[in-house]
Amino acid sequence: MKRTNLENWIEQIEALPKLTREGLEELQLRRLNEVLARLKARGGFYKDYPEKLESLSDLKKLPFTTAEDLSAQPGKFLLTSQSEVSRVISGATSGTTGPAKRVFYTESDTEHTIGFFAAGISQMLSPGEKCLIAFPFTGPFGLGDLIAQAVERLDAVPIKAGFGQTWEELAALVRETQPETYIGFPVTLLSLSRMYGEDLPIKRALVSGDACPKGVMEELEKALGSKLYPHYGSRECGLGGAVTCPAFAGMHLRENHIIPEIVDENGNVLPDGEHGELVITTIGADAMPLIRYRTGDYTRLLPQCPCGGVTKRIDTVSRREGTVSIEELDSKLFQIPALVDFRASFDGQLTIEARTLCNGSKAQISVAAKEIYPDLQINVQTSLCQHTDRPMYLGKRHIVQE
């Protein structure tokens, strides 16, 4: 099996004749120490950190960085001048409260992201093909625009769908352009496939921007007739972090730019194969490198891939939630073929507002939800999905707390 294209990209931009595990870890340590030296000279948030480490294993001795740290004092993390900043992502993520996080990027940072995107997308997209991009387009350095640039570098055609259109508008764009591939939120694609009906031209998809639990993945793969290419990213890791290869056995990490760790609830580093919280050190970031940032995402590290690549992989990523999990609900409820979309809220009682293709699905949804949460009071409301409806979440899916 051919190894992941991500590693070809790493060899190219790092000028490496051959990527090996030993060489990759030497690169990581060298780059980590370069970052630590810059941070020490800056005297900002990391002013008390050492200027150099003797080994990668010493990284676990350093304190964690948290989302609260970024929210409280983002300026103390910036290593470049404001004039060098080409992009700032600011805003609270789904379900968070308090000050919003601000993450800064230079043109070099965004160039690395485009290169990573192109490497990952190239696994499913051939020259001349069309790719529907269902992410927001907010300007030259926005997520949708960066993905479109990556698609163009592969001599393919980006179809800039954006996000939040009605199903009628999105279906009309698909009928007009006939894209073979898709990049965007997983549930959006599943909902589109059910509203579009037969003859959906999309046959391959890279899903990102939100969790893709097992039930949703299985339904999408049935609808497309092919395996999905899940991607993991966050603003803190430069929007692109890990992507699936043709072995479909986890997501390869961008390890030339990210050092990953998995920690338990007490912050202890766990060995490969054990589940815990993903912690990242962004050694490739120019504007705003982060040391041991706790992502709040839960997964495990996997060693060498069946594709023959040497980069570590992460397994399916999940978010720890409260009494009710949107991922559990998505995985279970979307196995009901008539379900197009739903919104879940919780105030001691679980309320599910569902849009369906036909009447008579309320009992199915109620039974499925009760199988997950037998002790909760559950209220299900259903209505027929109209072509003038839009996705019920304009961003990450989450339990609305009321």
Answer positive or negative: Cα dihedral of 362, 364, 365, 367: positive
**Do the beta carbons of residue 312 and residue 253 sit within 8 Å?**
yes
The CATH number of whichever domain residue 44 belongs to comes to: 3.40.50.12780
Q: Which of 320, 335, 356 is the last residue of a domain?
A: 320
Q: Taking 50 as the threshold, does the pLDDT of residue 96 lie above it?
A: no
Q: Which of 261, 295, 320 is the last residue of a domain?
A: 320
Paired tokens of 117: 């995107």
Kindly report whether the global pTM for this prediction surpasses the value 0.75.
Answer: yes
Q: How confident is the model at residue 138 (pLDDT cuts 50, 70, 90)?
A: confident
Q: Note whether 356 and 378 are same-domain residues.
A: yes
Question: Which structural domain range is residue 151 located in?
Answer: 1-320
Q: Please give the average per-residue pLDDT across 146-158, as a whole number.
A: 97
What CA–CA distance (Å, rounded) separates 373 from 370?
Answer: 5
Query: H/E element holding 1?
Result: none
* Structural domain count of the chain: 2
pLDDT the model gives residue 334: 97
Q: Note whether 300 and 332 are same-domain residues.
A: no
The CATH number of whichever domain residue 341 belongs to comes to: 3.30.70.1350
Q: Note whether 268 and 136 are same-domain residues.
A: yes
Nearest Cα to Cα of residue 318 among 275, 260, 269: 275
Q: Note whether 313 and 341 are same-domain residues.
A: no
Q: Note whether 303 and 332 are same-domain residues.
A: no
Nearest Cα to Cα of residue 395 among 91, 128, 85: 91
Q: Which of 300, 320, 340 is the last residue of a domain?
A: 320
What CA–CA distance (Å, rounded) separates 278 from 381?
Answer: 36
Q: Note whether 342 and 231 are same-domain residues.
A: no
pLDDT the model gives residue 99: 60
Paired tokens of 94: 């789904």
Q: Note whether 38 and 67 are same-domain residues.
A: yes
pLDDT the model gives residue 93: 45
Amino acid at 241: G
pLDDT the model gives residue 92: 52
